[in-house]
Amino acid sequence: MSQPTPAERRFVDHLVALTDPRRQDGRGALAALRRGLGKPPGTVAEMFPVVGPFDPGGTGWDSDRYYLVASLFGSHPDNWDYRGGDDRSSNLGASLRLANRESGGVQAALTALLNSGRDELPDRLRHCIALCGAARPPAAVDWAQLLHDLRWWDSARRDTQRRWATSFWQPRREGENEE
């Protein structure tokens, strides 16, 4: 599995730090990120102070994916908890699996997402992240892995889509407990 870059991890660490209740600017920054939901990535000026310092620069998908992930994080800032020795997949397919693999709605949302072109991703991802947040308990998202995976969304091999599908539909291992 392809791992997030150090720059992608730093960006997500920055987003996660906004959730610290001791930060005076955290709630406002998260609200600014949520304003980007449903808008084309990188078009909401309130997001610039939060995302801009980490934006790899330029225009195009490499920059847009930072704004897209930041707006989604603002709506569900529950980051995947890495427990020592946990070798389970932590991509979006795994998060949706935890959200409720048996739900036809979750399966349909993931299938629609996997069939999406880049132009459909913001709406389809927003729906999938909402399902993660609505699950009981809420399903965390590995935001750094999501940011990294989106970089390769349009690759001809569709590796990201296949990894997500495998993580979602893989059979449970004996004794595995869904948390």
pLDDT digits (tens, 9 = 90+) for 105-141: 999 999 999 999 999 999 999 999 999 999 989 999 9
Give pLDDT, residue 172. 63
| pTM, entire model | 0.91
| Residue found under tokens 């449970």 | 172
CB of 149 closer than 8 Å to CB of 164: yes
Picking from 51-55, 62-66, 137-141, 171-175, which range would have the lowest pLDDT averaged per residue?
171-175
Query: In the chain, which segments carry CATH 1.10.520.40?
Result: 92-169
Q: Which of 169, 151, 168, 142 is nearest to 76 (CA)?
A: 142
Q: How far apart are the first and last CA of the chain?
A: 22
| CATH among 1.10.10.10, 1.10.520.40, 3.90.320.10, 3.40.50.11600 for 92-169 | 1.10.520.40
CB of 162 closer than 8 Å to CB of 106: no
Q: At what angle do helices 121-134 and 61-75 cross, to 10 degrees?
A: 30
